[in-house]
Amino acid sequence: SQHAPRDRRRRGAGVAARAPLLLPLLLLPLVLPPAAALRVVVVDPSARVSSTVQRHFEDRGVQLLAVPTGTPLAELQPSALVVRSSCVVDRELIASLPSLAVVVRAGSGYDSIDVQAASEEGVLCLNTPGLNAPAVAEQAMLLTLACSRRLFAASSSLRSGSWDKVPGRMSVGKALGIVGSGSVARELALMASLGFGMRVRIHSPTGRQFDPGAGATAATLDDLLAWSDVVVITTSLNARTRGLISARELDTMKPRSILINVARGGLVDEEALLESLDTGHTAAAGLDTFMDEKRVPFTPVTEALVNHPNTVCTPHVAGSVAELGPAVLKASLDAVEDLLCNGGDVVLSDTGPEPVVAQCLNLEEVGMRWRKRLPEKRKHKQ
């Protein structure tokens, strides 16, 4: 390849093979180029990219800025945004950025982006869902084991000065149901079946055709819920899946089963889950996501779930591992570079020797209208 940041190896390769660490990490200075130039803005709480990547983009006529969450973006007028879940790209923000052509969600999910508003304005939306799949699957397995063995209760007992042996249950050989059929589901199915001998069924809420992979079978939602000892939610949040697990679904689950959510809080009716935990129908819940995240103080329901004796809760950290940060950022910037500098040859048509890890969310709706939002002299392929 003619440029340093791109690496088109398959998702199955190790993180180190997919993307070299982007070091040294530096805050980029907010020195704005002429208005006609292309500008890429990375919005992230840590707001760091490497000086090497910055120079690479400058050589291609693109300024790369990194700013913390909350920075007024209308003053920067980016051609492309790379965001985490902490940055909400809503209709109002899109309307204030007439030069915005591309938004990339660095990671999986896209519920923080108003894709419909973006589509109406001709803004292309992408995400990089596969890179953090092993980390999210690992967290799902961790929560499964912690809930099954009642790890939090046992640890709390010991810390309080007691030596009470809290009985738990094994996960080996149990029935695992996965709600979701994407990369996280496939990683988890392999991890659970090969590592713990679990029997695995997978349900796709979108109804799309999928290959459940070795050691797993497809199932309807109700059949999966009634069969599973552990139900893990990995599907994306959208209008179709919001509230997917409500009181009816919880009642359908096998008595004394375990619910794990490593996807999005809006997928589960939290009040119904709290009631199911209180009655004992649901034995335990492992929650990495909540309906009202980052809200302090917690809502009464969130506080009750976090402090429930039969839950293990984490603050949406399933995909937050040190090894993946540089790889996810690199994949996002690779996609932006291809779109702004190469006309989207790889991302949109996959002409490379191997698939890229970014996927378009609204290409059918937007088509090539996103190119019309770029400065006049950069609308055509360089």
Q: Which residues are catalytic?
A: 264, 293, 316
**Are the CB atoms for 116 and 364 separated by under 8 Å?**
no
Residue 182 per-residue DSSP state: S
Tokens 């009040």 — which residue? 271
Cα 288 from chain centroid (whole Å): 12
Distances 370 to 15, 103, 119 between C-alpha atoms, Å:
31, 10, 9
Q: For residue 215, what are the contacts with CB-CB under 8 A and spacing of at least 6?
A: 189, 190, 193, 194, 200
316, burial (CB in 10 Å: exposed 0-12, middle 13-18, buried 19+): middle
Nearest CA to 39 out of 66, 17, 20 is that of 66
**Are the CB atoms for 297 and 319 separated by under 8 Å?**
no
The DSSP line for 83-94 is: E-TTS-B-HHHH
Which segments within 5-149 are labelled E, that is strand?
25-26, 38-43, 49-50, 62-67, 80-83, 102-105, 124-127
Distances 45 to 68, 178, 238, 329, 336 between C-alpha atoms, Å:
5, 31, 25, 13, 20
